[in-house]
Chain A
Amino acid sequence: MSRTNGNSKSGLQGLWALTSRELKKWLKEPLLLFMAVLQPVIWMGLFGRAMNLGNMFSSGNINLPSVIPIPGSFVIPPQSEMVNINGAALSEMFANLGPSIMQNIFGVQDYFSYMAVGMISFIVMFTAMFSGMSMVWDRRLGFLNKVLSTPVSRGAIIFAKVLNASLRAMFQATIILVLAVIFGLQVSPTFNWYNIFGVYAAIFLLCVGLSSVFLALSLRSTKQETQMAIVNMINLPLMFASNTFFPISQMPEWIQAIAMVNPISYLTDANRQLLVLSLDASRLMLDFAFLGAFALVLSAIGITLSWRYLTK
């Protein structure tokens, strides 16, 4: 009849039991997994391949006439008559500008490599935001009450959800990354395999922050529609007011202001540094500092609110 009681070992046991319950559910439903992967694949295909920004500046798109007359005052030293310019040479010059424009704006020469990394942020954000939904169901179906009546630590109940969201996001990120490499993602010369751990760490930090807040939200909102509405309202703005698909430097100032505090930007930048850009250690440190602070503050808020609800 005696039993180990409330020690850290049983706390971990409960945490893992609750986490693996959901992972099992997820893995047992291949369709869910498939859909979760299919979505970013479609986005990668549409965005990354359809919007071929790099190719816009290629020689095929620049069809200048072979002889271009211009006023003589345009050249140095100025001439009094009209001057003819060799169009073919000019076309070639413009075409060579393309990659350097891409390099300056995006940091890479092909758009696909740029956006494929953004795609990871996209999927991480979605997974984290929807992590609260399973809590809504646990509440409705009475599972939460049942768990609360057992001696499992209240913290384990909260952390299981957060951990679950993080593990799922990491798993999905891995699949996207593998697919992106297959589709032609070009890693930077500074890439080495250890960087993958950095990518996971960054994903984990964002996930912890976001999912703990959405978890608190799902515990507190009486209707799951509320949760859906909030997620739908903020996900796309948060996505586009960041560097996920387009560089911040080209945005109007007010969007830049949002993007500068948007954690999605920092996750994306950290991952780009680690995967496709040449690594800038001080920028990477800044990214991680921001993500760390974000995770700390939001999880503190989220966990406090959840805790208060669970011990009502």
Chain B
Amino acid sequence: MSEDVIKAEGLTRVFNKHLVAVNHVNFSVKQGEVFGFLGPNGAGKTTTINMLITILKPTEGKASVMGFDIVKQNNEVRNVIGVVPQEYTADEDLTGLENILLCADLYGIPRKVAKERAEQLLKLVELTDFKDKKVQTYSGGMRRRLELACGLVNRPKVLFLDEPTLGLDVQTRTATWNYIRMLKKEYGMTLFMTTHYLEEADALCDRVAIIDHGKIVVIGTPEELKHGLGGDIITLSIKENADVSGLIRSVEHVKEVKSENGSYWIKVAYGEVTAPFIIEALRRKGYTVTKLSMTEPTLNEVYLEYTGKSMRDTEESRENFRAQRMTMWRARH
């Protein structure tokens, strides 16, 4: 099937007639791809995902999932997708198994099939030993895994994950990444995820769309995006006291050279390949390289380039957001 699994054309959502949460967004996701939506809080990630999973109608534009229109054929869409929401939606007073069976019932899966599938899924997310325990007693990581199991109960073709590792510790986050990789590899599942963790987008996603103020500012593979910035930064020093800027600039793929106190800051495309050529060029003229280091641009720099702000700034407001949510959660208990 060569057709795009998800296709959005001019997708727009306006709240209260003037707040444009998602602004004419275009993108497509291919079969078997892990597609990431990266952006700060309030950028429109969740609004986009909510439109794709048919719980919010677009104000303008259209989108399809597995060829089904998200508005006109919303029930067909619901049948082929799985959703792992940002929140822990599993019922605390029910057991893990009961929660999965509840999800199965919502898809109209016959009880017998549902029970078999629940056992498989519990095994998959390593919760078999805890299946009869109330979700109340689960840790954050276990709850996340249970959400994943619930999202897979209808054997979806496309899985939507909204901030799948929000608030998880490093270990649990890595474990979650492994599940996502496995779903892609073993089941050829197409995954659409939102995240505000750059490492996560970098580690998991085949392609990333950076969204800011409701608009997609750039789409590409993490590699493309990083290279698109102009490549890697090489810093080197030479033994001799001479200005070799011109010489370095003449090497192929070198884009920019700045010298400072005898050390050179060089912007190059494909750092790994270019660095040996620079050393060779210098050696041929009799210079000796004493120090060389190379830094690859991270998605953070990509992010900074396109949104004009560092991820750290947005991280702060995210912390506030989480604190708020915790308060709400406590209020219930």
List chain A positions with a Cβ less than 8 A from chain B.
1, 3-7, 9-11, 13-14, 16-18, 21, 24-25, 28-29, 137, 140-143, 145-152, 311-312
Contacts of B50 on A, CB cut-off 8 Å? Answer: 145
Q: Is B87 an interface residue (CB 8 A)?
A: yes
B84-99 contacts to A, CB under 8 A, are: 85-89, 91, 93-94, 98
Task: Kindly state the separation between the CA atoms of A9 and B111 in the bound complex, as whole angstroms.
Answer: 12
When the two chains form their complex, are residues B94 and A149 in contact, meaning their CB atoms are under 8 A apart?
A: no
When the two chains form their complex, are residues A3 and B108 in contact, meaning their CB atoms are under 8 A apart?
A: yes
Known A14-B105, A17-B102, A149-B54; contact A3-B85, beta-carbon cutoff 8 A: no
Q: What is the CB-to-nearest-CB distance from B80 to chain A, in angstroms, rounded to a whole number?
A: 9
Known A4-B108, A137-B332, A312-B56; contact A24-B78, beta-carbon cutoff 8 A: no
Q: What 8 pairs across the A-B complex have the smallest Cβ distances?
A: A10-B108, A142-B87, A17-B105, A150-B106, A151-B78, A148-B55, A152-B106, A149-B83
When the two chains form their complex, are residues B83 and A140 in contact, meaning their CB atoms are under 8 A apart?
A: no
When the two chains form their complex, are residues A142 and B89 in contact, meaning their CB atoms are under 8 A apart?
A: yes
When the two chains form their complex, are residues A141 and B87 in contact, meaning their CB atoms are under 8 A apart?
A: yes
When the two chains form their complex, are residues A150 and B332 in contact, meaning their CB atoms are under 8 A apart?
A: no
Partner of A149 from the list B78, B102, B109, B110 (CB cut-off 8 Å) is: B78
- Total number of B residues with any Cβ neighbor in A under 8 Å: 35
Q: Is B278 an interface residue (CB 8 A)?
A: no
When the two chains form their complex, are residues A13 and B85 in contact, meaning their CB atoms are under 8 A apart?
A: no
B38-65 contacts to A, CB under 8 A, are: 50, 53-57
Output the residue of B86, B93, B105 with the most chain A CB within 10 A: B105
Q: What is the CB-to-nearest-CB distance from B31 to chain A, in angstroms, rounded to a whole number?
A: 15
Output the residue of B50, B101, B108, B328 with the most chain A CB within 10 A: B108
Task: Kindly state the separation between the CA atoms of A10 and B150 in the bound complex, as whole angstroms.
Answer: 18
- CB contacts between A and B, total, < 8 Å: 91
Contacts of B89 on A, CB cut-off 8 Å? Answer: 141-143, 145-146
Q: Is B81 an interface residue (CB 8 A)?
A: yes
Contacts of B102 on A, CB cut-off 8 Å? Answer: 17-18, 21
List chain B positions with a Cβ less than 8 A from chain A.
50, 53-57, 75, 78-79, 81, 83, 85-89, 91, 93-94, 98, 101-103, 105-110, 150, 154-155, 160, 328, 332
Task: Kindly state the separation between the CA atoms of A11 and B150 in the bound complex, as whole angstroms.
Answer: 19
Q: What is the CB-to-nearest-CB distance from A12 to chain B, in angstroms, rounded to a whole number?
A: 9
Contacts of A18 on B, CB cut-off 8 Å? Answer: 102, 106
Output the residue of B53, B55, B83, B328 with the most chain A CB within 10 A: B55
Task: Kindly state the separation between the CA atoms of A143 and B94 in the bound complex, as whole angstroms.
Answer: 13
Task: Kindly state the separation between the CA atoms of A7 and B79 in the bound complex, as whole angstroms.
Answer: 13
Task: Kindly state the separation between the CA atoms of A29 and B136 in the bound complex, as whole angstroms.
Answer: 13
When the two chains form their complex, are residues B93 and A29 in contact, meaning their CB atoms are under 8 A apart?
A: yes
Quick one: closest A residue to B93, CB to CB?
A25
When the two chains form their complex, are residues A4 and B110 in contact, meaning their CB atoms are under 8 A apart?
A: yes
Q: What is the CB-to-nearest-CB distance from A193 to chain B, in angstroms, rounded to a whole number?
A: 35
When the two chains form their complex, are residues B83 and A3 in contact, meaning their CB atoms are under 8 A apart?
A: no
Task: Kindly state the separation between the CA atoms of A150 and B89 in the bound complex, as whole angstroms.
Answer: 13
Task: Kindly state the separation between the CA atoms of A3 and B107 in the bound complex, as whole angstroms.
Answer: 9
Q: What is the CB-to-nearest-CB distance from B287 to chain A, in angstroms, rounded to a whole number?
A: 62
For the A-B complex with A17-B105, A145-B50, A149-B53 known, give 16 more contacts whose Cβ atoms are closer than 8 Å.
Answer: A3-B109, A4-B108, A6-B108, A13-B108, A14-B108, A17-B101, A18-B106, A24-B98, A25-B93, A28-B93, A141-B88, A148-B54, A150-B78, A150-B83, A150-B106, A152-B108
Task: Kindly state the separation between the CA atoms of A200 and B25 in the bound complex, as whole angstroms.
Answer: 54
Task: Kindly state the separation between the CA atoms of A131 and B110 in the bound complex, as whole angstroms.
Answer: 29
Contacts of B78 on A, CB cut-off 8 Å? Answer: 149-151
Task: Kindly state the separation between the CA atoms of A149 and B150 in the bound complex, as whole angstroms.
Answer: 12
Contacts of A7 on B, CB cut-off 8 Å? Answer: 108
Contacts of B105 on A, CB cut-off 8 Å? Answer: 13-14, 16-17
Partner of B107 from the list A145, A148, A150, A311 (CB cut-off 8 Å) is: A150
Contacts of A10 on B, CB cut-off 8 Å? Answer: 107-108
Contacts of B55 on A, CB cut-off 8 Å? Answer: 145, 148-149
Task: Kindly state the separation between the CA atoms of A145 and B51 in the bound complex, as whole angstroms.
Answer: 11
Task: Kindly state the separation between the CA atoms of A17 and B101 in the bound complex, as whole angstroms.
Answer: 9
Provide 25 A-B residue pairs closer than 8 Å at the C-beta atoms, listed in order of the A residue. Answer: A3-B109, A4-B108, A4-B110, A10-B107, A11-B108, A14-B106, A14-B108, A17-B101, A17-B102, A21-B94, A24-B93, A24-B98, A141-B89, A142-B85, A142-B88, A145-B55, A146-B83, A149-B81, A149-B83, A150-B83, A151-B75, A152-B106, A152-B108, A311-B57, A312-B57
Q: What is the CB-to-nearest-CB distance from B193 to chain A, in angstroms, rounded to a whole number?
A: 15
Task: Kindly state the separation between the CA atoms of A6 and B75 in the bound complex, as whole angstroms.
Answer: 8
Contacts of B98 on A, CB cut-off 8 Å? Answer: 24
